[in-house]
Amino acid sequence: MNDNDLLEKLRSTIIKGKSEDTINLTKKALKAKVDPKRILNEVIIRGAENVGLKYEKGEYFLGDMLLAADAINDCMNVIKPKLKEGTHETPVKVLIGTPEGDLHDIGKSLVIALLQGQGFEVIDLGVDVSPERFLEAAKKENADIIGISGLLTVTISKMKETIALLKREGINAKIILGGGILSEESCKQVGADAWTKDGWEGVKLIKKLMEVS
Ligand code: B12
């Protein structure tokens, strides 16, 4: 089986939510020296898109999405250590969480692994984080960057509320949004400094915001 076939098989395994096969195939891919970035982009992201589409079309129900989420997590946990390799210190502190009401944490975990791999200090506030908790942590940690990972349209208003509170309270950290549902428009609407739908792009954006190479 060549790399492309292997990745396609892995993607289909994830979509079907088969955890054990996912773990075995991910390990096989890494053993075959497939770049973990390819696994992230071609398997996890595209697989998740596919699952989302099936859910939208009514082909998948919540239970199917949960099984697929478990498989996505299994794949991610196998590649995570590889994404972190080569860590070096970067004097930038990032605070990250999902907005209140949003429990999707797979993309957040991935972007954390990518940031840690680049030597950033990351403080993970977890999921369903209220505006007040973001503020409390921002004051306590004095972070340079605050990242909000949002996957639900209904929680865009919570992102807006969070950012308004942070600004009102004089928090100077740059605010970056991540997550598949975002757009230039939603970023402007909520008052963030930057946004992205892609974890690698997010790392680059944060470096640009902080002027580190
Ligand atoms: C898996 C999944 C779930 C799992 C979540 C499990 C978990 N632990 O995360 C479960 C089954 C629990 C779930 C539940 C629900 N879900 Co859901 N879910 C998904 C699915 C299929 C994949 C999400 C995912 O993990 N993607 C893979 C990751 C890697 O991608 P990502 O999050 O975008 O992250 C990347 C970048 O965005 C970026 N990034 C992410 N965060 C950040 C942060 C920063 C700072 C930066 C810089 C970058 C960055 O880096 C990552 C790597 O590149 C999506 C479909 C989709 N296309 O996304 C639907 C989807 C997000 N869900 C959806 C819905 C509707 C729901 C439910 C409301 C369903 C229901 N009826 O209950 C609930 C809501 C629960 C809640 N309150 O949060 C909708 C949202 C629609 C919308 N526009 O609002 C989607 C789009 C499906 C669809 N097409 O309808 N879901």
For 115-149, the pLDDT digits (tens) are 988 889 999 999 999 999 999 999 999 999 999 99
Give the Å distance between the CA of 113 and the centre of ligand 1: 17
State the sign of the Cα–Cα–Cα–Cα dihedral 85, 17, 55, 7.
Answer: positive
Nearest by Cα to 37 from 198, 178, 205: 198
Examine the domain organization and report whether 27 and 127 are in the same domain: no
Assess whether 77 and 116 both reside in one domain.
Answer: no
Atom of ligand 1 nearest to the CA of 177: 45
Separation of alpha carbons 184 and 40, rounded Å: 24
CB distance 162 to 193 below 8 Å: no
Same domain, 65 and 124: no
**Is residue 80 located within the same domain as residue 111?**
no
Pair (112, 178) in one structural domain: yes
Report the separation in Å between the CA atom of 105 and the middle of ligand 1, taken as the mean of its atom positions.
8
Q: Are residues 99 and 191 in the same domain?
A: yes
Closest atom of ligand 1 to 201 CA is 47
Residues 76 and 100 in one domain: no
152 Cα to the center of ligand 1, angstroms: 7
Question: Do 196 and 126 share a structural domain?
Answer: yes
Q: Given ligand 1 and candidates 104, 112, 204, which is best to mutate, with the most ligand atoms within 8 Å of its CB? A: 104
Q: How far does residue 106's CA lie from ligand 1's centre (Å)?
A: 8
Q: Are residues 173 and 105 located together in one domain of the fold?
A: yes
Q: Which of 84, 115, 145 is the last residue of a domain?
A: 84
Cβ 145 under 6 angstroms from ligand 1: no
Closest ligand 1 atom, residue 108 Cα:
41
CA–CA dist 205, 27 (Å, integer): 30
Q: Is 17 in the pocket of ligand 1 (CB under 6 A)?
A: no
Question: Does ligand 1 have an atom closer than 6 angstroms to the CB of 165?
Answer: no
| Residue 88, pLDDT above cutoff 90 | no
Same domain, 174 and 71: no
Q: Which CATH number covers residue 118?
A: 3.40.50.280
Range of the domain at 18: 3-84
- 4 pLDDT more than 80: yes
Q: 160 Cβ partners below 8 Å, 6+ apart?
A: 189, 190, 191
User: pTM surpassing 0.85?
Assistant: yes
Residue 149 contacts residue 104 (beta carbons within 8 Å): yes
Distance of CA 76 from the midpoint of ligand 1 (Å): 15
Which residue reads 């099936």 in tokens? 54
Among 84, 102, 117, the domain boundary falls at 84
Tens-place pLDDT, residues 28-54: 999 999 999 899 989 999 999 999 999
Domain count, the chain: 2
- pLDDT interval class at 213 (50, 70, 90): low
Strand locations in 110-199 (E): 121-124, 145-149, 174-178, 194-196
Q: Are residues 97 and 160 in the same domain?
A: yes
Task: Please tell me the residue having the least CA distance from ligand 1 atom 31.
Answer: 107
Check pocket membership of 158 for ligand 1, CB cut-off 6 A. no
Q: What pLDDT does residue 1 have?
A: 83
**pLDDT at residue 204, rounded to an integer:** 92
| Residue of 175, 102, 180 whose CA lies nearest to 135 | 175
Same domain, 158 and 71: no
| pLDDT for 86 beyond 70 | no
146 touches 171 (CB < 8 A): yes
